Structure 1
Amino acid sequence: MTLVAPSHRPTLQEELKGLPSRSRWVAIAILALLALAAAVTLLRGSTEDGTRTVVREPIAFNLRYPDAMQRVKDDNLFHLQREGLDEFIVEPLALPEYRGDVGGLLPVEGSRQVEALKQRFPQLELVEEGKVRINRAAGYSLVFRASRSPRLYGRLVLLPEPVPGSRRGVKLLMLATPEGGADKARDVGTNGLLKTPYRSFRFGTEGP
Protein backbone atom coordinates (compact mmCIF):
# COMPACT_ATOMS: atom_id res chain seq x y z
CA MET A 1 0.00 0.00 0.00
CA THR A 2 1.36 3.46 -0.91
CA LEU A 3 1.65 5.71 2.13
CA VAL A 4 3.29 8.71 0.43
CA ALA A 5 1.41 10.76 -2.14
CA PRO A 6 3.10 11.03 -5.56
CA SER A 7 3.33 14.80 -5.13
CA HIS A 8 5.58 14.26 -2.10
CA ARG A 9 7.97 11.89 -3.89
CA PRO A 10 10.82 11.19 -4.02
CA THR A 11 11.16 10.68 -0.28
CA LEU A 12 14.46 11.10 1.56
CA GLN A 13 14.80 7.33 1.78
CA GLU A 14 14.33 7.01 -1.98
CA GLU A 15 16.84 9.80 -2.61
CA LEU A 16 19.43 8.07 -0.43
CA LYS A 17 18.88 4.72 -2.13
CA GLY A 18 19.89 6.30 -5.42
CA LEU A 19 23.30 7.30 -4.09
CA PRO A 20 26.43 5.13 -4.11
CA SER A 21 27.03 3.35 -0.83
CA ARG A 22 29.86 5.66 0.32
CA SER A 23 27.96 8.83 -0.58
CA ARG A 24 24.83 7.50 1.11
CA TRP A 25 26.63 7.03 4.43
CA VAL A 26 28.21 10.48 4.17
CA ALA A 27 24.77 12.01 3.57
CA ILE A 28 23.31 10.12 6.54
CA ALA A 29 26.16 11.34 8.77
CA ILE A 30 25.60 14.94 7.67
CA LEU A 31 21.85 14.68 8.35
CA ALA A 32 22.55 13.23 11.79
CA LEU A 33 24.89 16.14 12.61
CA LEU A 34 22.29 18.65 11.44
CA ALA A 35 19.65 17.00 13.63
CA LEU A 36 22.01 17.07 16.61
CA ALA A 37 22.81 20.76 16.03
CA ALA A 38 19.09 21.57 15.85
CA ALA A 39 18.47 19.71 19.12
CA VAL A 40 21.31 21.58 20.86
CA THR A 41 19.98 24.92 19.59
CA LEU A 42 16.48 24.10 20.81
CA LEU A 43 17.83 23.05 24.21
CA ARG A 44 19.80 26.27 24.54
CA GLY A 45 16.75 28.29 23.60
CA SER A 46 14.73 26.65 26.35
CA THR A 47 17.44 27.05 29.01
CA GLU A 48 16.86 29.91 31.42
CA ASP A 49 19.80 32.30 31.42
CA GLY A 50 20.98 34.46 34.29
CA THR A 51 20.67 34.11 38.04
CA ARG A 52 17.56 32.84 39.75
CA THR A 53 16.80 34.29 43.16
CA VAL A 54 14.13 33.56 45.76
CA VAL A 55 12.88 36.04 48.38
CA ARG A 56 10.82 34.44 51.16
CA GLU A 57 9.94 37.30 53.53
CA PRO A 58 7.84 39.33 54.04
CA ILE A 59 6.20 38.05 50.87
CA ALA A 60 7.57 35.16 48.83
CA PHE A 61 8.55 35.65 45.19
CA ASN A 62 11.19 34.51 42.75
CA LEU A 63 12.67 35.78 39.50
CA ARG A 64 15.67 35.61 37.20
CA TYR A 65 18.00 38.43 36.24
CA PRO A 66 20.90 38.82 33.79
CA ASP A 67 24.42 38.48 35.11
CA ALA A 68 25.17 41.99 33.86
CA MET A 69 22.81 43.44 36.48
CA GLN A 70 24.12 43.95 40.02
CA ARG A 71 22.06 43.31 43.12
CA VAL A 72 21.92 46.27 45.50
CA LYS A 73 21.54 45.67 49.24
CA ASP A 74 19.18 48.29 50.68
CA ASP A 75 15.79 48.60 52.36
CA ASN A 76 13.87 47.42 49.29
CA LEU A 77 12.61 43.85 49.02
CA PHE A 78 14.86 43.44 45.98
CA HIS A 79 16.94 45.85 43.92
CA LEU A 80 18.89 45.40 40.69
CA GLN A 81 20.91 48.07 38.96
CA ARG A 82 23.22 48.91 36.10
CA GLU A 83 24.37 52.32 37.21
CA GLY A 84 23.30 55.03 34.79
CA LEU A 85 21.44 52.53 32.59
CA ASP A 86 18.52 50.81 34.32
CA GLU A 87 17.04 49.69 37.63
CA PHE A 88 14.58 47.06 38.82
CA ILE A 89 13.14 47.58 42.30
CA VAL A 90 10.64 45.42 44.19
CA GLU A 91 8.79 47.24 46.98
CA PRO A 92 5.95 46.06 49.22
CA LEU A 93 2.39 46.96 48.24
CA ALA A 94 -0.22 47.43 50.98
CA LEU A 95 -3.78 47.87 49.73
CA PRO A 96 -6.65 49.44 51.68
CA GLU A 97 -9.72 47.44 52.54
CA TYR A 98 -11.91 46.71 49.55
CA ARG A 99 -14.91 44.67 48.47
CA GLY A 100 -15.25 42.57 45.38
CA ASP A 101 -12.48 42.13 42.83
CA VAL A 102 -9.16 43.82 43.52
CA GLY A 103 -9.02 44.89 39.88
CA GLY A 104 -11.55 47.62 40.60
CA LEU A 105 -9.30 49.09 43.27
CA LEU A 106 -6.07 49.17 41.26
CA PRO A 107 -6.81 52.24 39.06
CA VAL A 108 -7.58 54.24 42.19
CA GLU A 109 -4.43 52.99 43.87
CA GLY A 110 -2.55 53.75 40.64
CA SER A 111 -3.55 57.42 40.83
CA ARG A 112 -2.24 57.59 44.37
CA GLN A 113 1.03 55.99 43.32
CA VAL A 114 1.47 58.51 40.48
CA GLU A 115 1.26 61.34 42.99
CA ALA A 116 3.87 59.61 45.13
CA LEU A 117 6.15 59.17 42.10
CA LYS A 118 5.91 62.89 41.35
CA GLN A 119 7.58 63.53 44.70
CA ARG A 120 10.58 61.59 43.42
CA PHE A 121 10.38 62.73 39.80
CA PRO A 122 9.00 66.29 39.66
CA GLN A 123 9.01 66.23 35.82
CA LEU A 124 7.02 63.00 35.65
CA GLU A 125 4.58 62.66 32.74
CA LEU A 126 2.18 59.72 32.69
CA VAL A 127 2.21 58.06 29.25
CA GLU A 128 -0.27 55.22 29.66
CA GLU A 129 -1.88 53.01 32.26
CA GLY A 130 -3.91 49.83 32.23
CA LYS A 131 -4.31 46.24 33.29
CA VAL A 132 -1.42 43.85 32.96
CA ARG A 133 -0.81 40.18 33.72
CA ILE A 134 2.53 38.74 34.76
CA ASN A 135 2.40 34.99 34.57
CA ARG A 136 -0.71 34.18 36.65
CA ALA A 137 -0.88 37.43 38.61
CA ALA A 138 -3.15 40.27 37.46
CA GLY A 139 -1.91 43.79 38.08
CA TYR A 140 -1.94 47.39 36.92
CA SER A 141 0.80 49.12 34.94
CA LEU A 142 1.74 52.80 34.92
CA VAL A 143 4.15 53.85 32.17
CA PHE A 144 5.76 57.26 32.51
CA ARG A 145 8.46 59.65 31.42
CA ALA A 146 10.46 60.50 34.52
CA SER A 147 12.66 63.17 32.96
CA ARG A 148 13.21 64.74 29.54
CA SER A 149 16.78 65.91 30.22
CA PRO A 150 18.42 63.55 30.84
CA ARG A 151 15.98 61.12 29.24
CA LEU A 152 14.67 58.65 31.79
CA TYR A 153 11.63 56.41 31.43
CA GLY A 154 9.81 54.23 33.92
CA ARG A 155 7.15 51.64 34.54
CA LEU A 156 5.46 50.92 37.86
CA VAL A 157 3.45 47.72 38.14
CA LEU A 158 1.09 47.19 41.06
CA LEU A 159 0.87 43.44 41.56
CA PRO A 160 -1.43 42.13 44.30
CA GLU A 161 -0.78 38.67 45.67
CA PRO A 162 -3.08 36.30 43.70
CA VAL A 163 -5.01 35.24 46.80
CA PRO A 164 -8.70 36.21 47.14
CA GLY A 165 -9.12 39.06 49.59
CA SER A 166 -5.40 39.58 50.11
CA ARG A 167 -4.28 43.15 50.67
CA ARG A 168 -0.60 42.33 50.17
CA GLY A 169 1.46 42.48 47.04
CA VAL A 170 4.47 44.12 45.43
CA LYS A 171 5.30 47.17 43.39
CA LEU A 172 7.70 46.57 40.52
CA LEU A 173 9.46 49.83 39.69
CA MET A 174 11.54 49.80 36.53
CA LEU A 175 13.64 52.71 35.28
CA ALA A 176 15.70 52.86 32.09
CA THR A 177 17.60 55.29 29.91
CA PRO A 178 17.99 55.08 26.12
CA GLU A 179 21.41 53.51 26.72
CA GLY A 180 19.66 50.94 28.91
CA GLY A 181 17.35 49.89 26.06
CA ALA A 182 14.43 52.31 26.43
CA ASP A 183 14.07 54.63 23.44
CA LYS A 184 10.55 55.45 24.65
CA ALA A 185 8.53 54.93 27.81
CA ARG A 186 6.73 51.81 26.56
CA ASP A 187 10.08 50.06 26.08
CA VAL A 188 10.68 49.82 29.83
CA GLY A 189 10.28 46.18 30.81
CA THR A 190 9.75 45.06 27.22
CA ASN A 191 13.20 45.84 25.78
CA GLY A 192 16.68 45.55 27.23
CA LEU A 193 17.78 43.59 30.29
CA LEU A 194 14.80 44.62 32.43
CA LYS A 195 12.68 42.25 30.39
CA THR A 196 14.17 39.20 32.14
CA PRO A 197 13.30 40.01 35.78
CA TYR A 198 9.97 41.54 34.75
CA ARG A 199 8.75 38.60 32.68
CA SER A 200 10.13 35.94 35.05
CA PHE A 201 8.62 37.38 38.25
CA ARG A 202 6.43 34.90 40.13
CA PHE A 203 4.88 34.88 43.57
CA GLY A 204 5.97 31.95 45.73
CA THR A 205 9.27 30.10 45.81
CA GLU A 206 8.78 27.83 42.80
CA GLY A 207 9.92 28.88 39.34
CA PRO A 208 8.33 27.86 36.03
Structure 2
Amino acid sequence: MKLIGMLDSPYVRRVAISMRLLGLPFEHAAISVFRGFDAFQQINPVVKAPTLVCDDGSLLMDSTLMLQYAEALAGRSLQSRDAPALQRELRVIGLALAACEKTAQIIYERGLRPEDKRHQPWLDRVNGQLHAAWAALDAELAARPLDASADGLRQDGITAGVAWSFTCFVLPEAAPAEAYPHVAAHAAAVEALPVFRAIPCDDAVTLS
Protein backbone atom coordinates (compact mmCIF):
# COMPACT_ATOMS: atom_id res chain seq x y z
CA MET A 1 0.00 0.00 0.00
CA LYS A 2 1.06 3.57 -0.57
CA LEU A 3 -0.10 6.61 1.40
CA ILE A 4 -0.05 9.85 -0.58
CA GLY A 5 0.03 13.26 1.10
CA MET A 6 2.02 15.56 3.35
CA LEU A 7 2.47 14.85 7.04
CA ASP A 8 1.56 18.42 7.92
CA SER A 9 -1.98 17.28 7.08
CA PRO A 10 -3.60 15.85 10.22
CA TYR A 11 -5.63 13.48 8.06
CA VAL A 12 -2.55 12.00 6.43
CA ARG A 13 -0.75 11.82 9.75
CA ARG A 14 -3.56 10.08 11.67
CA VAL A 15 -3.66 7.39 8.98
CA ALA A 16 0.12 6.94 9.01
CA ILE A 17 0.28 6.67 12.81
CA SER A 18 -2.68 4.31 12.96
CA MET A 19 -1.33 2.03 10.26
CA ARG A 20 2.01 1.89 12.04
CA LEU A 21 0.25 0.95 15.29
CA LEU A 22 -1.79 -1.70 13.48
CA GLY A 23 1.39 -3.23 12.09
CA LEU A 24 0.50 -2.59 8.45
CA PRO A 25 3.44 -1.91 6.12
CA PHE A 26 3.07 0.96 3.68
CA GLU A 27 5.06 3.36 1.55
CA HIS A 28 4.63 7.10 1.90
CA ALA A 29 4.84 9.68 -0.86
CA ALA A 30 4.99 13.26 0.44
CA ILE A 31 3.20 14.97 -2.44
CA SER A 32 1.43 18.28 -1.84
CA VAL A 33 -2.02 18.94 -3.30
CA PHE A 34 -0.78 22.50 -3.95
CA ARG A 35 2.89 22.41 -4.92
CA GLY A 36 2.64 18.92 -6.39
CA PHE A 37 -0.81 19.17 -7.95
CA ASP A 38 0.18 17.70 -11.32
CA ALA A 39 2.07 14.78 -9.76
CA PHE A 40 -0.80 14.10 -7.36
CA GLN A 41 -3.29 14.23 -10.22
CA GLN A 42 -1.37 11.50 -12.01
CA ILE A 43 -2.04 9.22 -9.02
CA ASN A 44 -5.54 10.39 -8.11
CA PRO A 45 -7.44 12.68 -10.52
CA VAL A 46 -9.52 13.95 -7.58
CA VAL A 47 -6.29 15.26 -5.95
CA LYS A 48 -7.46 14.61 -2.39
CA ALA A 49 -5.13 14.01 0.54
CA PRO A 50 -4.78 11.54 1.97
CA THR A 51 -5.06 9.05 -0.83
CA LEU A 52 -4.37 5.39 -0.11
CA VAL A 53 -3.28 3.26 -3.05
CA CYS A 54 -4.26 -0.28 -2.15
CA ASP A 55 -2.28 -3.33 -3.18
CA ASP A 56 -4.66 -3.97 -6.10
CA GLY A 57 -4.31 -0.37 -7.30
CA SER A 58 -7.66 0.81 -5.97
CA LEU A 59 -7.73 4.30 -4.48
CA LEU A 60 -9.30 5.14 -1.14
CA MET A 61 -10.02 8.68 0.06
CA ASP A 62 -11.03 10.17 3.43
CA SER A 63 -8.95 9.28 6.47
CA THR A 64 -11.85 7.73 8.42
CA LEU A 65 -12.68 5.37 5.57
CA MET A 66 -9.02 4.43 5.21
CA LEU A 67 -8.87 3.58 8.89
CA GLN A 68 -11.90 1.32 8.58
CA TYR A 69 -10.12 -0.54 5.79
CA ALA A 70 -6.84 -0.66 7.70
CA GLU A 71 -8.53 -2.17 10.74
CA ALA A 72 -10.21 -4.79 8.55
CA LEU A 73 -6.82 -5.70 7.09
CA ALA A 74 -5.19 -5.84 10.51
CA GLY A 75 -8.02 -7.83 12.06
CA ARG A 76 -8.21 -5.55 15.07
CA SER A 77 -9.51 -2.13 15.94
CA LEU A 78 -8.21 1.00 17.62
CA GLN A 79 -11.74 1.72 18.82
CA SER A 80 -14.01 0.12 21.42
CA ARG A 81 -16.68 -2.42 20.59
CA ASP A 82 -18.71 -1.47 23.66
CA ALA A 83 -21.38 1.02 22.53
CA PRO A 84 -21.16 3.53 25.42
CA ALA A 85 -17.35 3.57 25.28
CA LEU A 86 -17.42 3.90 21.49
CA GLN A 87 -19.85 6.79 21.75
CA ARG A 88 -17.42 8.69 23.98
CA GLU A 89 -14.51 7.92 21.68
CA LEU A 90 -16.43 9.07 18.60
CA ARG A 91 -17.35 12.33 20.30
CA VAL A 92 -13.67 13.06 20.96
CA ILE A 93 -12.74 12.11 17.39
CA GLY A 94 -15.52 14.27 15.98
CA LEU A 95 -14.45 17.32 17.98
CA ALA A 96 -10.82 16.83 17.00
CA LEU A 97 -11.69 16.48 13.31
CA ALA A 98 -13.91 19.57 13.52
CA ALA A 99 -10.94 21.51 14.92
CA CYS A 100 -8.82 20.27 12.01
CA GLU A 101 -11.45 21.37 9.50
CA LYS A 102 -11.85 24.84 11.00
CA THR A 103 -8.09 25.32 11.23
CA ALA A 104 -7.73 24.40 7.56
CA GLN A 105 -10.53 26.79 6.57
CA ILE A 106 -8.76 29.68 8.27
CA ILE A 107 -5.43 28.80 6.66
CA TYR A 108 -7.00 28.52 3.21
CA GLU A 109 -8.84 31.83 3.63
CA ARG A 110 -5.62 33.57 4.63
CA GLY A 111 -3.30 31.81 2.24
CA LEU A 112 -5.32 31.44 -0.93
CA ARG A 113 -7.59 34.47 -0.99
CA PRO A 114 -6.18 37.97 -1.65
CA GLU A 115 -6.28 40.11 1.47
CA ASP A 116 -8.77 42.57 0.00
CA LYS A 117 -11.13 39.68 -0.84
CA ARG A 118 -11.16 38.07 2.60
CA HIS A 119 -14.49 38.09 4.38
CA GLN A 120 -13.83 38.95 8.03
CA PRO A 121 -17.29 37.94 9.30
CA TRP A 122 -16.66 34.47 7.85
CA LEU A 123 -13.23 34.28 9.48
CA ASP A 124 -14.72 35.39 12.81
CA ARG A 125 -17.37 32.69 12.53
CA VAL A 126 -14.86 29.94 11.74
CA ASN A 127 -12.57 31.12 14.54
CA GLY A 128 -15.50 30.87 16.92
CA GLN A 129 -16.24 27.34 15.74
CA LEU A 130 -12.59 26.35 16.16
CA HIS A 131 -12.42 27.60 19.72
CA ALA A 132 -15.77 25.98 20.51
CA ALA A 133 -14.35 22.64 19.34
CA TRP A 134 -11.22 23.03 21.48
CA ALA A 135 -13.26 24.11 24.51
CA ALA A 136 -15.59 21.12 24.20
CA LEU A 137 -12.68 18.73 23.69
CA ASP A 138 -10.84 20.17 26.67
CA ALA A 139 -13.93 19.63 28.81
CA GLU A 140 -14.15 16.03 27.60
CA LEU A 141 -10.54 15.35 28.52
CA ALA A 142 -10.91 17.09 31.87
CA ALA A 143 -13.77 14.74 32.72
CA ARG A 144 -12.14 11.64 31.23
CA PRO A 145 -8.44 11.78 30.37
CA LEU A 146 -7.38 9.69 27.41
CA ASP A 147 -4.82 6.92 27.67
CA ALA A 148 -1.61 8.34 26.23
CA SER A 149 0.54 5.27 26.84
CA ALA A 150 2.12 3.28 24.04
CA ASP A 151 0.04 0.22 24.91
CA GLY A 152 -3.24 2.02 25.57
CA LEU A 153 -3.34 4.52 22.71
CA ARG A 154 -6.58 4.39 20.74
CA GLN A 155 -8.03 6.31 17.82
CA ASP A 156 -9.52 9.04 19.99
CA GLY A 157 -6.13 9.67 21.56
CA ILE A 158 -4.36 9.60 18.20
CA THR A 159 -6.75 12.01 16.54
CA ALA A 160 -6.91 14.43 19.48
CA GLY A 161 -3.11 14.62 19.61
CA VAL A 162 -2.69 14.99 15.86
CA ALA A 163 -5.37 17.69 15.69
CA TRP A 164 -3.84 19.82 18.43
CA SER A 165 -0.37 19.55 16.94
CA PHE A 166 -1.74 20.55 13.54
CA THR A 167 -3.32 23.74 14.87
CA CYS A 168 -0.17 24.55 16.85
CA PHE A 169 1.93 23.99 13.72
CA VAL A 170 -0.04 26.13 11.27
CA LEU A 171 -2.08 28.49 13.46
CA PRO A 172 -0.34 28.72 16.86
CA GLU A 173 -2.27 31.78 18.01
CA ALA A 174 -5.45 29.67 17.94
CA ALA A 175 -4.04 27.03 20.29
CA PRO A 176 -3.01 28.66 23.59
CA ALA A 177 -2.08 25.85 25.97
CA GLU A 178 -3.31 27.81 28.98
CA ALA A 179 -6.80 28.01 27.49
CA TYR A 180 -7.03 24.29 26.72
CA PRO A 181 -4.63 22.67 29.19
CA HIS A 182 -6.04 19.14 29.07
CA VAL A 183 -5.82 18.91 25.29
CA ALA A 184 -2.34 20.43 25.33
CA ALA A 185 -1.16 17.98 28.00
CA HIS A 186 -2.54 15.00 26.12
CA ALA A 187 -0.90 16.11 22.88
CA ALA A 188 2.45 16.61 24.62
CA ALA A 189 2.21 13.09 26.06
CA VAL A 190 1.43 11.35 22.78
CA GLU A 191 3.94 13.41 20.81
CA ALA A 192 6.61 11.95 23.10
CA LEU A 193 5.73 8.39 22.05
CA PRO A 194 8.07 6.69 19.56
CA VAL A 195 5.33 6.24 16.94
CA PHE A 196 4.49 9.96 16.99
CA ARG A 197 8.15 10.96 16.93
CA ALA A 198 8.68 8.68 13.93
CA ILE A 199 5.81 10.38 12.06
CA PRO A 200 6.16 14.09 12.88
CA CYS A 201 3.94 16.94 11.77
CA ASP A 202 6.49 18.01 9.18
CA ASP A 203 6.06 18.08 5.42
CA ALA A 204 9.80 17.63 4.94
CA VAL A 205 9.57 14.04 6.18
CA THR A 206 9.00 11.08 3.88
CA LEU A 207 8.34 7.73 5.50
CA SER A 208 9.70 4.51 4.09
TM range (shorter): under 0.3
- The higher radius of gyration belongs to 1
TM-score (norm 1): 0.28
Is the strand fraction higher in 1 or 2? 1
